[in-house]
Amino acid sequence: MQKVFCFICFLSLFFVEAQQTEKLDIQRISGTIHLLPQTKSVEGTLQVEFKILKNTDSIYLDAVNTTVEIFKKSNFKPIITSEENKIYFIDNFEAGKTYQVSFTYQAIPKQALYFVGWDNNASNQIWTQGQGKYTSHWLPSLDDMNDKIEFDLAYQVPENYTVIANGKLTNTKNKGKEKLWEFNMNNPMSSYLVAVAVGNYKVKELTSTGNIPIKLYYEPKDEAKVEWTYKNSRKILDFYEKEIGVPYPWQNYKQIPVRDFLYAGMENTTATIFSDMFMVDQIGYVDRNYVNVNAHELAHQWFGDLVTEKSGTHHWLQEGFATYYALLAEREIFGDDYFYFKLYQNAEKLKELSDAGKGEALKNDKASSLTFYQKGAWALHILREKVGEEAFKKGVKNYLEKYAYQNVETKDFIAEIEKTSGEDLSSFEEDWLEQSAFKSSQVLNSLKKSGFMEKYLSSIAVRTISISDKYEALNKLLNFPVNDYLGQEVVAQLAKENPEDVLPLYRKAFETNNVLVRQAISTYLTQIPVSLQKKYEGLLNDSSYLTQEQALFNLWQNFPENRNKYLTKLQNVEGFSNKNIRLLWLTLSLVTPEFQPENNSKFYKELSGYTSPSYAYEIRENAFGFLYQINSFTEQNYLDLAQGATHHVWRFRKFCKELLAQLASNEQHRAIFYSVKDKLPQKQLNTLNKILDK
């Protein structure tokens, strides 16, 4: 073995930052990766096969905070050094030649690979999130999506855990108290799509109409939620193969829920990882189902994984397409009204941004997610209407087939649509890809092609009209069978009136028995007339955790004399995976002196216990919020808050820092923070000190 030379200053002259993909093509990375949860580190042995495109004396792999040793199996012996989060190989590399280098490495990832639960009482997981260019934190590779690489990797983990990764599982081997899981990929992909998930999982197996194996993973505690969480997985894949016209391009498809994920989901090739907050039962499916995320990430297997952007300028080719095709899949599941209403909602957000002078061009690589995702989807919708469905679908098919396993720019896609449609799309490009302004008039004309949207736009047009002038129109919109969105709009408009003046309309809205219309009542009608009390109490029985949560709070506020009854009614309801109803229930129970006072200490112990790192960050955040409202924290809550201020999920980390700062502005809370400082690990202590010193 050849040891790493850590400080070879004179070599830095050779390390000119050229575009690495101009010098070499990495064709395959294979090897074994040992995941070590006790030290939260990685050890691996890799073999990298690459072809030199231009004569050069140095090449590199991206490898953050990684130490490396050359392995004997290499077919050449380069000088190797680590510098600036890269591994440099120094030799006389000749254009046209293929090389093979093997090495061992060690890394302690600060991001991109997460060990969750190993230092608390939660279930143990390991999972990756390398979105963009972060895979090199745990796997030496190339942080450039323009180099497509075949990854054939094996993972060694403690024996009692399941491993899910890219490609097909080809073999497992026992290694003492550990187990080796070997995976094979048949085709290349960008390095940011490399993924692995490890945990205590069970699996439900399906096969698509096109004979693609589908594996749906879940933790044993969520077994009752499997049916409704994954309700449409096979249907969506079947729909895409028909709609896109290109067969699913990989060996299989797997979906893995994980705790404390950074985003809703991530489209790793063959292995979507998503937040376990989307695990839902039949009631949860109404308000917080996995369908959109499921469809969005699956669409990326074609748009992003099979065909990948060359740079951020063309990011809409991934996110705009995935958003649009997810809408098409939801249209197949939920119907046309849902489809057009979502388009309308997104258009309203984009119009607001544009009207404020903050509109963004789709080809602006610094654009917001709203632009890349929603404006991108709207651009495709308008394009499809402009050239016709047949030309659009044929163009998309040709585009995917022509550039399969390659990288693309916007012009590549436009050229294919121009070929199939015979149209010059320069005006479309100017309006939808180059301009920052949102084309509201084109959007309105498109929406009006839907009979439902004509009615909806007419209904919102009367928002400012007096109730006497629109009473009959609103009444008519509540006729059976009421439309989900029209009915909700009626209730939203009633909220601006004195409830006593529109009681018949409220009663009619209640009697629609439409779960979304009744949910709108729980959202907008917060001052409840006594004459509607009984009907409002019926909302506690609705098949919607959001409705139940809102109804409980509103009834508790409006009718203090019945608080015991309402709390008893929902005593055993948890709600979504984030325990929305349970946390509210515990808080209301604690501030209702007459309700089970003998159980107060038990209720408080449960509520305050939910700030523990053993729970998902969404649960912790809600628990912190309720404890803040009742101004009651234990010493452990302060410690948990300091831990949260260093959490890997930035949104939760930001929340904890802000709450910590808010509490620290109070002398009593501030004194407690000082008293617990000696119980904090150094990283948490440093964060706390920065806030206390402000």
CATH number (domain holding residue 387): 1.10.390.10
Helix-strand-coil percent breakdown of the chain, rounded to 5? Answer: 50, 20, 30
Any idea what the CATH number is for the domain that residue 71 is in?
2.60.40.1730
pTM: 0.95
Q: 259-289, pLDDT tens digit by residue? A: 999 999 999 999 999 999 999 999 999 999 9
| Least reliable range by pLDDT among 58-62, 299-303, 351-355, 461-465 | 58-62
SS3 287: helix
DSSP conformation letters of 68-115: EEE-TT-SS--EEEEETTEEEEEEEE-TT-EEEEEEEEEE--SSSEEE
Write the DSSP symbol of residue 2: B
Q: 486-527, pLDDT tens digit by residue? A: 999 999 999 999 999 999 999 999 999 999 999 999 999 999
Q: To which residue do tokens 């905070």 refer?
A: 65
Please indicate, yes or no, if residue 526 is contained in any of the structural domains.
no
SS3 271: strand
User: 498: burial class by Cβ within 10 Å (0-12, 13-18, 19+)?
Assistant: exposed
Please indicate, yes or no, if residue 165 is contained in any of the structural domains.
yes
CB of 610 within 8 A of CB of 583? Answer: yes
pLDDT for position 73 = 65
Beta-carbon contacts of 485 under 8 Å, excluding residues fewer than 6 positions away, are 337, 341, 452, 456, 516
Same domain, 371 and 263: no
Tokens encoding 568: 């008893």
Confidence of residue 74 (pLDDT cuts 50, 70, 90): low
Same domain, 55 and 188: yes
Please indicate, yes or no, if residue 684 is contained in any of the structural domains.
no
Please indicate, yes or no, if residue 22 is contained in any of the structural domains.
yes
Same domain, 100 and 181: yes
Same domain, 57 and 118: yes
Same domain, 33 and 176: yes
Beta-strand ranges (E) seen in 458-611 are none
**Spatial distance between the Cα atoms of 619 and 276, rounded to a whole number of angstroms:** 12
pLDDT higher than 60, residue 12: no
User: Measured over all CA atoms, what is the biggest interatomic distance in the chain, rounded to whole angstroms?
Assistant: 87
CB of 573 within 8 A of CB of 588? Answer: no
Domain count, the chain: 3
Last residue of a domain, one of 414, 438, 462: 438
